[in-house]
Structure 1
Amino acid sequence: MDNVYDLLILGGGPAGLAAGVYGARARMKTAIIEKGRPGGQAATTEELENYPGFRKGTTGPGLTQAMADHALEFGAEFIKDTIMSLDLFSSPRKVVGRKGEYCGKAIIYALGAEPRMLRVEGEGRLRGKGVSYCATCDADLFEELDVLVVGSGDAAIEEAEYLTKFAEQVTVVVIHDEGKVDANRVSAERAFKNPKLKWIWNSTVKSINGDELVESVTLKNIKTGEEFSYPANGIFIYIGTTPITGQIEGQVKLNDQGYIITDEKMATSAEGVFAAGDVRVKYLRQVITAAADGAIAAVAAEKYVHETEIWDKEVLKAEQPVLVAYYDPTDMAGTEKIGVVDQFVREHQDRLSLVKVDATRNELVERRYGIDRNKLPLMHLFVKGELQGVSHEISVENLRELTRI
């Protein structure tokens, strides 16, 4: 089927693009589903100064477009569609978009996160009418006007500086005491020296005011309780992000904040489903860590697909019963016992097949069948794809009892 991919990547941010590069380069049939232009949140960041190799800085749009071109050159397909629903337990896994349905032997979920809203009066009504979450997207609309920036993290401080190239005055509203911000020291020190930046400390936003456009913002000093109106033509909000996991909720494990829980290989709790980038539980959410996540997820997905195809062919779809011998190659005594199984199967090869599995390297069977590496060697008997018997003791007598031969 044309719509069945070895690797289906959901999201075209840095994580998804890096996964596309690694997946396509591994000769997997790879597709990236993205509803808009590739790049994600990184594509809305004008200046990137901490991506290795660009000591003079680069731009978010430029870097992510280069990533997309790289994935395309290796053969990744880009599908422009909006994801509506997922079925991660079907085989292959199914993704339903507005324009069509797509299937993947492995899925990498990399839809990222979206800006967190203040949830104050006027915010929703005036969104796009002076309320913005992206300076790169909207800065030129506020040329020679006065704007507010809410937040004190890296994004807030760096984007506030960017806005000074356009706006007449940029005022940063910070919840902390004077001089304290959550941004990295370099960005903070540079911002404090910028004459076009003004600061309002110990304050939060109560409401955003205006009829057709933003005209003012009501602020509250959290120490004195004083509320006051502050004139502004626009407000840019940077108070963190919320993971886009609504469509995957209930199918993989999430933490209390809604981020996807993965292991070090980016594997989720659902077999064959991986997560990468800002959408997963992690310590640092930056372009470089998203790209690393995508690379790891793609390599793990390729290994999963390869192991699954071999397992399906040699075990689950085998015509006759199959003995699977799991072993640890570093355990010489245990490995020698596999010779007993070899001899037994050769004597009954018209009725039985043998598959040997290094259980220290095959993650698929370890996870699917709960193989304990400390209890090897181990025998499984499969008949018509179903596990019918287990034996930890390897002897001719046990093999006869297990196989009923």
Structure 2
Amino acid sequence: MINLADIRLGALRLVRPIDPFLLVITAAIIAVATLMLGSSSPERMNAHLVNVGVGVAVMWAMASQPPQRLHSFALPLYVVGVLLLIGVALFGDVSKGARRWLNLGVMRIQPSELMKIAMPLMLAWYFQKREGSLKVRDFFVATLLLMVPVGLIIKQPDLGTSLLVLGAGFFVIFFAGLSWKLIIPVAVLGTAAIIAIISYESQICAPEVAWPGLHDYQKHRVCTLLDPSSDPLGKGFHTIQSTIAVGSGGLVGKGWRQGTQTHLDFLPERHTDFVLAVISEEFGLAGVLLIVVLYCLLIGRGLMIAANAATLFGRLLAGSITMIFFTYAFVNMGMVAGILPVVGVPLPMVSYGGTALVTLCLGVGILMSVQQHRRRR
């Protein structure tokens, strides 16, 4: 006979790792993604639903693991990730001028995606080992651990992913207690560089001027951000069409599947990097504010989980994972609005893409794992 008590116990075991608040927010964001894909690229709906199913399964599996197990995976995952990045540099497949993929025979993988999770795991593990005895040199060692994979990713070149990995690692170092005395000089230099680029745009953007450490296309992206009309049919096309779509939506938009920029094929990458422009055009300011509120709730919940974590490893990991969502959203929104260069960063869990969706669902699962561990403690 069926024992109702056993069924109830089994159901409780299935749902116990799930944080209800995080689940509702994640479900709402994915629902928005599904709605917008039905407008911008309905032919990809079946693949999207499969990606959602895989992402939810990965999220639950990760939420079911205790943070101690994640702690034991940190160093091996980081080492494997760096070795794979070296493999990409030596033997990787070249596509569209970039060497980002590694062919393993049975599959092609993009190791830089692995580092979005492996990097904060590694640095959280490192600072956990040194809890109570942190010195300045430990922050320099952590910076070196961070810059090795970031440098390999920049060489591919993949500026967008390198910025995300850099951000993920930086937030761990910051939450570990990085002194403002080290942060402020870097911030001042960065601000001065931005002001100089804006002030002397016509001189430094001249074709014969090379920017140290950057490829020509990266320089071109920054220069067309400052003046999109300088290349309206080339690098500036994305920014121009995106800002037109954003501005034409008004307060409440033109309606679902009624966006002219989207459905007359003026808006490029409308189902991936520029899906926010589709939301703005079809649902206006109201739709954009809904997305912003959902991300604020997600980030707020993540920071709350980080603050209440039982260990330093849990606090650093949850804090950095949460700030990864902030970095994704901030860079993508700035890119769509025309205030940041186009660097290929998706809108988290809204832009179409299996790898990014599964990686972010994995991040949500880690937050749930840290929260579940706090309850048990």
| TM-score of the aligned structures, taking structure 2 as reference length | 0.23
Report which of the two has the higher share of helix.
2
Higher relative contact order by CA 8 Å / sep ≥ 6: 1 or 2? 2
Give the structure with higher Rg (CA): 1
